[in-house]
């Protein structure tokens, strides 16, 4: 079971970040992905980067190398998040290079995939994931994040989520990566998390907005871990 917090571009001050870190449950199954300036505050947590460059090093102002993330203690890095795909126009091929770069830097990539339209039958996810996994021979983490559910308060239905999980698992099996974890992300909260980790069979969750509320996030952690035991 894995519970990943993606703080995105929040909070705005060191004081707020310290407070958030100080009130979140420290568990080996919990990964915190704060903005880069706050990574040093989480030395007692399992840490992940929110993004990495598709280059190892060089004249790339503003970019962060996967090797830099590794050097400060990160174990994971998110690649292919829908906000990077949509806002930053990152392509499937770029995401594949980032995933390979992460593995080269001894990080586990959390590869995000998801469709924009509810009526999509999985073709978009299949394309995204197969390209992202090209050349990868080590287990990864895949996060299914339906774009229509992210930040909307309208999470994906259990039936659809389960179909997508099975699709992702089948693709991973085809690639010989069947031990990879598959997470759900998209309007996750303490009330619905067990639906995804228990009923839909996901190996954990990727939490955005709710991870900025320590009380709510701690409940998510507790409910996710309890669902694994039940």
Is residue 124 classed as helix, strand or coil in its secondary structure? Answer: helix
Set 83, 124, 145, 163: catalytic member = 145
Cβ atoms within 10 Å of 174's Cβ, excluding its own: 11
**pLDDT confidence bin for 228, thresholds 50/70/90:** low
Nearest-angstrom CA–CA distance, 107 and 99: 9
Residue 155 has pLDDT above 80, yes or no: no
Set 15, 81, 115, 166: catalytic member = 81
**pLDDT confidence bin for 154, thresholds 50/70/90:** confident
Q: Is 81 designated active site?
A: yes
Q: The domain that contains 108 carries what CATH number? A: 3.20.20.70
> Mean pLDDT over all residues of the chain?
94
Is the sign of the CA dihedral 3, 62, 127, 155 positive or negative?
positive
pLDDT value, residue 119: 65
Q: Is 15 designated active site?
A: no
Contact indicator for 111, 99 with CB cutoff of 8 Å? yes
CA distances from 100 to 59, 112, 166, 187, 230 (A): 20, 14, 24, 29, 36
Nearest-angstrom CA–CA distance, 3 and 85: 22
pLDDT value, residue 38: 98
Domain containing residue 212: 2-229
Reply yes or no: is the peptide bond before residue 30 cis, omega within 30 of 0. Answer: no
Number of domains making up the chain: 1
CB proximity list for 68: less than 8 A, separation 6 or greater: none
Phi first, then psi: what are they for 45, rounded to 5°? -110, 165
**pLDDT confidence bin for 30, thresholds 50/70/90:** very high
The pLDDT tens digits of the residues spanning 119-150 come to 677 899 999 999 999 999 999 999 999 987 77
The pLDDT tens digits of the residues spanning 169-218 come to 999 999 999 999 999 999 899 999 999 999 899 999 999 999 999 999 99
Residue 55 has pLDDT above 90, yes or no: yes
**pLDDT confidence bin for 220, thresholds 50/70/90:** very high
CB neighbour burial string for 76-87, b if at least 16 within 10 angstroms, e if fewer: bbbbbbbbbbee
**pLDDT confidence bin for 230, thresholds 50/70/90:** low
């Amino acid at each position: 079971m894995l519970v990943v917090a993606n703080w995105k571009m929040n909070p705005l001050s060191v004081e707020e970040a310290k407070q958030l870190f100080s009130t979140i449950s420290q568990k080996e199954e919990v990964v915190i992905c704060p903005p880069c300036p706050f990574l040093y505050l989480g030395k007692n947590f399992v840490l992940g980067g929110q993004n990495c460059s598709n280059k190892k090093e060089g004249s790339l102002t503003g970019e962060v190398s996967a090797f830099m993330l590794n050097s400060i203690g990160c174990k994971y890095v998110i690649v292919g998040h829908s906000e990077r795909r949509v806002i930053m126009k990152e392509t499937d091929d770029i995401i594949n290079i980032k995933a390979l770069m992460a593995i080269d830097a001894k990080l586990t990539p959390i590869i995000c995939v998801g469709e924009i339209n509810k009526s999509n039958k999985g073709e978009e996810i299949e394309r995204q994931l197969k390209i992202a996994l090209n050349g990868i021979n080590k287990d990864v983490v895949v996060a299914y994040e339906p774009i229509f559910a992210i930040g909307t308060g309208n999470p994906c239905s259990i039936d659809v989520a389960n179909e997508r999980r099975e699709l992702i698992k089948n693709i991973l099996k085809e690639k010989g990566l069947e031990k990879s974890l598959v997470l759900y992300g998209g309007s996750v909260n303490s009330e619905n998390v067990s639906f995804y980790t228990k009923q839909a069979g996901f190996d954990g969750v990727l939490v955005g907005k709710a991870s900025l509320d320590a009380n709510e996030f701690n409940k998510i952690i507790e409910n996710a871990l309890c669902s694994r035991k039940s």
